Amino acid sequence: MPDAPLTMHWFLPTMGDGRHLVGGGHGNATGSAGTIRPASIGYLTQVARAAEQAGFDGALTPTGAWCEDAWITTAMLVAHTERLKFLVAFRPGSISPTLAAQQAASFQRHSGGRLLLNVVTGGESREQRAYGDFLDKDARYARTGEFLSVVTRLWRGETVDLDGEHLRVEAASLSRLPDPVPPVYFGGSSPAAGDIAAEHADVYLTWGEPVEQVREKVGWIRKLAADRGRTVRFGIRLHVITRDTAAEAWAQAQKLLDALDPDTIAGVQQGLAASESEGQRRMRALHGGSRENLTIAPNLWAGVGLVRGGAGTALVGSHTEVADRIADYHAAGIDEFVLSGYPHLEEAWWMGEGVLPVLREPGLWSPPDGAVVEADEARSVPFAADYRR
C-alpha cells in the first residue's frame, strides 16, 4: 500500500463545454447532440458539484484570453460548493505579487482554505503582449522567480523590499496572512522552468507524456530540488475517456476523432508549430499532426492534441485499464492527477463512479475529508431493504 493516497483533481471548462474536441463538432446529423454549453456559473456549478460528489479533491481553472478569468469565476463558485478546492491558474505578468498574495489570503478566508495556485509563466509572446507584457520567454521566467520570492515571503509575514531586474516593491506586507498558505503548482519543460520549479514549486505539473518520459522529468526536477535542499510533489495533466469496457472507450475516442475535419487539424497545428513552449513542442511530437498511430503508449491517446493546445493526451480504456495506467504513473513518481473529459459534466461521473473505486480497493486513493461517495444500494431500489431482512 502506498505511503500516501493519490490526489485527484478535475477541470472546469471556463471556455465552454460540449461533446466534441472542437465546439459543436463538424457535420452533426440533425437531431444529434453536440451544441456548445456556455461557461455560465450555472453550468460550471454543475461540473464543480459533480466533481465534488464524485470524489475529486479539487478542480483546475485555466487562464488565457480564450476563457473566463479564473479568480473571479472560482470566487463565485465557492458559495455553490462545499469542500471542492479550486486550482486557480494565473500569470505573474498580469498582476503585482503583493496583490496576488493579498487575493490569495482573502480567498482562503472566504472559502475556508480551498485555494490552490497554478502559476503559469506564459509561453506565447503574442498573447502576453495583448496583456501589456513585452518580456521574452527567458525574462518571463526570471520575473516569475522574483514574483514567487515576494509572494512566499509575504505569506511568511515578512515586510518585503525588492529592487529586482523585473519587479520592484517597497515595504510590501499583508495585514492578514493566508491560512493555510496555498500550495504553488508550476509546470514547464525548459531549463529555465526547471530552475523555477525546483526553487519555488510545491507541486510540479507535467503534461501527459508516456510513462518513461514522465519518469525522466520527475527525476530531473527531483534532483534540481534536492540540490536546493527541497522536496517537490509531482502532478500530471491528462484527459480521460473511461467506460465499462475498453471497446466502448475506444469507440468514444474514435467518435471524437471522426468529428474533426482536416482543415481544422491543419489550422490548429500551424498555430501550435509557432509556439515558444517546450512542453507544447513535446506534445506535438507525440502525434506529428497526423491522425494515424495516435495510440502512443498503452491506453495513451494523442488525439486531443490535434486540435487543442496544452495537454493533448488522454487515458482511454476500461475503468480497470485507466486505473492501471494511473498506477503506472504513480510508480513513476506522480502523486496528483488533474483530469478532464468531453463533456466535463458526464466524464466526471464516469471517472468518479468507474475508476476511483478501482483505485480505492488497493489503497491507491481514498475519498477526501468530507467527501461522501458511497451509494446505499439497498435504499436505491424501492422496497429492496425489506427483502434483505
The C-alpha cell that represents 375 in the structure block: 451509494
> What is the DSSP pairing of strand 85-90 with strand 58-61?
parallel
The mean pLDDT of the chain is 92
Residues 6+ apart with CB under 8 A from 211: 297, 325, 328, 329, 332
Domains in the chain: boundaries: 7-371
Helices (H), 259-316: 262-273, 278-287
Q: Kindly report the pTM of this predicted structure.
A: 0.93
Asked: is 7-371 a CATH 3.10.20.600 domain? The reply is no
* Max avg pLDDT among 263-267, 320-324, 380-384: 320-324
DSSP character at residue 250: H
How far CA 344 is from CA of 59, 81, 182, in Å, comes to 11, 17, 25
Interatomic CA distance for residues 113 and 36, integer angstroms: 33
pLDDT at position 388 over 90 = no
CA atoms within 13 A on the CB side of 142: 9
The C-alpha cell that represents 242 in the structure block: 473511461
Interatomic CA distance for residues 200 and 146, integer angstroms: 10
How far the first Cα of the chain sits from its last, in Å, is 36
Residues 6+ apart with CB under 8 A from 148: 92, 97, 119, 184, 196, 199, 200
| 185 contacts 211 by C-beta, under 8 angstroms | no
CB atoms within 10 A of CB 220: 16
Tell me what pLDDT residue 379 has.
Answer: 57
Interatomic CA distance for residues 165 and 182, integer angstroms: 26
Tell me what pLDDT residue 374 has.
Answer: 60
Tell me what pLDDT residue 5 has.
Answer: 86
Tell me what pLDDT residue 381 has.
Answer: 66
Interatomic CA distance for residues 127 and 106, integer angstroms: 28
What are the tens digits of pLDDT across the range 15-69? 999 999 975 444 445 455 667 999 999 999 999 999 999 999 999 999 999 999 9
Got the DSSP string for 301-341? E-GGGGT-SS---EEEEEHHHHHHHHHHHHHTT--EEEEE-
Instruction: Give Cα 373 to chain centroid, integer Å.
Output: 22
pLDDT at position 240 over 70 = yes
Tell me what pLDDT residue 35 has.
Answer: 79
What are the tens digits of pLDDT across the range 88-116? 999 998 899 999 999 999 999 999 999 99
Tell me what pLDDT residue 298 has.
Answer: 98
pLDDT at position 130 over 80 = yes
